[in-house]
Amino acid sequence: MPRKKVSTTVYITPEQAEQLRLLHERTKVPIAVYIREGIDMVLEKHRHELPGQLSLDVALNKGESESERVQHLSALRKAKA
């Protein structure tokens, strides 16, 4: 079953609109699908800035010492509170 979608309005440049239209004509994929994919790419790129549970690889940042990791995680927990 498809997930429920929320309606929103975005403003894009005429060039972006034209490129999306051409892409849609060639692939028959709805423009909205490409816009959602683009949003997913931005969210993935900036996921470290979003609230939520850290992934294990982020939490165990191999470039930090143990004490730096503890301080970092503590600061993140305080910021979320």
Amino acid at 12: I
Question: What is the domain range of residue 22?
Answer: 12-50
Name residue, tokens 């423009």.
31
Residues of the chain with pLDDT below 50 are none
Return the pLDDT at 60.
60
Domain match, 23 and 35 both: yes
- Count of domains forming the chain: 2
- Same domain flag for 57 and 71: yes
- In this prediction the pTM is 0.60
Taking CB atoms within 8 Å and a gap of at least 24, the contacts of 17-25 are none
